[in-house]
Amino acid sequence: MAADPDVTDPDVTDPAVTAPSVREPSAATRAPVWALTAAVIAVVAAALVGLAMLGGQSLPERNGPPVEELAVERTVLAAGVIELTIRNTGPDPVQIAQVFINDAFVDVAGGTDPIDRLDAATVRLDYPWLAGQPYLISLLTSTGVVIEHEIPAAVATPSPGGVLGLMALLGTYVGIIPVALGMLVLPVLRRVSSTVVRVLLALTVGLLAYLALDGGLEALELGGRSSGAFGGAALVVLGAVLAFLALTAIDRVLRRRRHRAQAGGATGLPLAVMIAVGIGLHNLGEGLAIGSAYAVGELALGAFLVVGFALHNTTEGIAIVAPLSAQRPSLIQLGGLGLLAGAPAILGAMLGAAVNNNELSAFLLGVGVGAIAQVIVQIAPALRDASGQKLNPATIGGIAAGVLIMYLTGLLVTA
């Protein structure tokens, strides 16, 4: 029997009849995302400003004397003069009334005006200090609070020109020369087995891992000795994380460009330039770590960094010339690639040596630790053998040897 056309099948639904019509907001009525974001930011900012202006007035006045705290960030000793760079790390302004050195009153210039919170001032003391002698400097504030700063052994501060020249030399040792050496040994490495290359890279990983640990501990100690006005030891973590993330992001961008260049048939010199740029950015962070280590007087740590980074940068030279294996580049092109990858270490060492307080030194050492960690991440894939394992007896032995070498070197080097 034919179905009655007047009877509706309950299993068949007509969306035009049964579904309720939901009205979508038109494009004209929807507010742009940027407008909503701006409105939210404006409301939050207005609320915070109102809280800052009205909230403080509703609280009672603080009882007790002013809280005065000063931190000496830099000490410069010249002939007959001691200069102190001090920073107010407390909540209240501080005014220096008198200064004593070893309980003797001295003439002072600077710092006599009130120093507001987190502001800095330079205090110049006329005093005929003697090399090698200890001195205790007592800063007497206008309210009678005494803040002391100790100089264990007075030593004339070296001129900036001499320090920058030394940093340029160290940057050359760490950046340019090792990269050039790595570019020279490429023909030899082509003739050895892949196992030897992996062991060499594992040795580098061990060296840098020890450096990261030793540098991180030193940075945390510096941060603990700082005033704490800008975070203290937290700056170490901040510097390491920012350096690692920034270098990782740069590496990803350059890696995508290299893949596109290879997909498009680009080989040889353009690809080598991209690799050299990425390595140069790494060497900038390495130079910062070296310069900051020498700036704070940690000569043993600086020697560690020089040795470890020099060994690592030798392998970087191999990575630069690898795309040029089928070509014969000129000496000028090879020299330009070496400078592009190694010269940033000189700039980084100079910047690192220019720091003038423990907090900046700790931050820059943290940057160096982050750079080391990122370099280890880059080297790790090259440790895989034919079966895809990174940690096999050969690479484990190379890593352990690198750690032991740096430990034994530390026993022979005095700070």
Which domain does 122 fall in, by range? 70-151
User: Higher pLDDT residue, 45 or 189?
Assistant: 45
334 plus 191 within the same structural domain:
yes
pLDDT tens-digit series, residues 372-394: 788 788 777 778 777 777 788 88
83 plus 215 within the same structural domain:
no
Q: What's residue 273's pLDDT?
A: 76
Domain boundary, last residue among 112, 127, 151:
151
93 plus 197 within the same structural domain:
no
Q: Is residue 29 part of a domain?
A: no
pLDDT confidence band for 261 (50 / 70 / 90): low
Radius of gyration (C-alpha) of the chain in whole angstroms:
31
User: Higher pLDDT residue, 24 or 405?
Assistant: 405
Q: Is residue 330 part of a domain?
A: yes
Residues 6+ apart with CB under 8 A from 99: 105, 106, 108, 123, 125, 137, 138, 139, 140
255 plus 170 within the same structural domain:
yes
Q: What's residue 49's pLDDT?
A: 84
215 plus 346 within the same structural domain:
yes
111 plus 178 within the same structural domain:
no
Is pLDDT at 297 greater than 70 in this prediction? no
Residues 6+ apart with CB under 8 A from 313: 174, 175, 178, 179, 182, 279, 283, 286, 341, 342, 345
CATH number (domain holding residue 85):
2.60.40.10
pLDDT tens-digit series, residues 185-222: 767 766 777 777 778 778 778 877 887 887 788 778 77
Instruction: Tell me which residue has tokens 């309720």.
Output: 20
Q: What's residue 1's pLDDT?
A: 46
Residue among 65, 64, 84 at smallest CA distance from 74: 84
Domain boundary, last residue among 151, 174, 207:
151
Q: What's residue 265's pLDDT?
A: 46
Give SS3 for 274. Answer: helix
Q: What's residue 44's pLDDT?
A: 92
84 plus 183 within the same structural domain:
no
Q: Is residue 358 part of a domain?
A: yes
Q: Is residue 16 part of a domain?
A: no
Q: Is residue 102 part of a domain?
A: yes
Q: What's residue 159's pLDDT?
A: 67
Q: What's residue 414's pLDDT?
A: 45
Q: What is the dihedral of CA 321, 327, 330, 333, to 10 degrees?
A: -40
Q: pTM for the whole thing?
A: 0.62
Cβ contacts of 335-340, under 8 Å, gap ≥ 24: 337/183, 337/272, 337/273, 337/276, 338/176, 338/179, 338/180, 338/183, 338/276, 339/176, 340/273, 340/276, 340/277, 340/280
Mean pLDDT across 270-290: 73
Q: What's residue 43's pLDDT?
A: 92
343 plus 370 within the same structural domain:
yes
90 plus 207 within the same structural domain:
no
Domain boundary, last residue among 105, 124, 151:
151
Instruction: Tell me which residue has tokens 């038109």.
Output: 26
136 plus 170 within the same structural domain:
no
Report which listed range, 223-227, 319-323, 334-338, 388-392, is most confident. 334-338
Number of domains into which the chain is organized: 2
